Chain A
Amino acid sequence: MKCKKIEGLLITDYLDKEIDGLDKVLIEQHLACCPVCRDFAANTKRLLSEPFTDIERSDAPEFIWRRVKDAIISERERRRNPVVDFFERLKGAIYIPKPALVFISIITLLLIVGIVAKLQFASKYALKNNVQEQVEYLDYPRENSDAGFGTLVEQYFL
Chain B
Amino acid sequence: MGNEITNDILLKAQEGDLDSFEIIYRTCVNFVYNVAYRILCNKEDAEEVTQEVFLNVYHKLKGFRLESSFKTWVYRITVNCAINYQKKMARERERQKRYDDNLGPEGHVNDPGVAINSENRERTINALLRILNPDQRTAIVLRNIEGLSYREIADTLKVSINTVRSRLKRAREKMLVIRKEVIKNEM
Contacts and interface: CB of A to CB of B under 8 A. Distances in A.
Interface of A: 8, 11-13, 15-16, 18, 43-44, 47-49, 51-52, 55-61, 64-65, 67-69, 71-73
A44 B168 CA distance: 12
A64 B168 contact: no
Nearest to B179: A47
Interface in B48-75: 50-51, 54-55, 58
B29 interface: yes
Interface stretch (B80-88, B102-110, B170-178): B170-178
Given A47-B175, A51-B121, A56-B122, A64 B144 contact: no
B165 interface: yes
Contacts of A52: 125, 144-145
Contacts of A69: 18, 22
11 contacts: A11-B172, A49-B144, A51-B125, A55-B144, A55-B145, A58-B37, A60-B29, A65-B26, A69-B22, A71-B51, A72-B18
Contacts of B180: 43, 47
B32 A13 contact: no
A60 B124 contact: no
Interface in B102-155: 121-122, 124-125, 128, 143-145, 149-150
Interface in B1-51: 18, 21-22, 25-26, 29-30, 32-34, 37, 43, 47, 50-51
A16 B143 contact: yes
Q: Looking at chain B's contact residues, is the secondary structure mostly helix, strand, loop, or mixed?
A: helix
Interface residues of B, number: 38
Interface string B157-172: 0000000010011001
A52 B3 CA distance: 24
Contacts of B128: 51
B64 to A, nearest CB: 17
Given A64-B51, A72-B18, 10 more contacts: A8-B169, A13-B150, A15-B172, A47-B180, A48-B179, A49-B144, A55-B125, A58-B34, A64-B54, A68-B58
Given A48-B179, A58-B33, A61-B47, A68 B172 contact: no
Nearest to A13: B165
Given A47-B179, A69-B18, A16 B168 contact: yes
Most buried by A among B43, B144, B173: B144
